Amino acid sequence: MPVTSKKFKAVAEALQKRLEAEIEAGTAKPAMRDSAAAIKIYLSPFFGAYNVDRITPAVITEFHEWRRNKLSRSCPSTTLWRSHAKWLGKIC
């Protein structure tokens, strides 16, 4: 994906559009629906204003805290955290 911005939100939106196009075309893997939702509901709202090169381990820790508070329940499974980390890595 070509770099058009350093802002997380812009990069995430480009990836989101690509995922949605694959989902609509029927070429996406089933897990991509969940991944697209995670980007839209969790990753973009938290990281949106950050430059991708400014997302540090401390910011990731803040994200985990924010997400825990947003969910208002116990933390999701390790598998879900890995999934979010995977998509965060694709964006950054």
Q: Is residue 67 part of a domain?
A: yes
- Whole-model pTM? 0.70
Q: Is residue 21 part of a domain?
A: yes
What is the count of structural domains for the chain? 1
Q: Is residue 29 part of a domain?
A: yes
Q: Is residue 2 part of a domain?
A: no
Q: Is residue 1 part of a domain?
A: no
User: What is the spatial distance between Cα 27 and Cα 36, in angstroms, rounded to a whole number?
Assistant: 14
DSSP 11-73: HHHHHHHHHHHHHHHT-S-THHHHHHHHIIIIIHHHHTTSBGGG--HHHHHHHHHHHHHHHTS
**Structural domain boundaries enclosing 59:** 8-91
* pLDDT single digits (tens) 5-34: 689 999 999 988 999 999 999 998 888 888
Q: Is residue 19 part of a domain?
A: yes
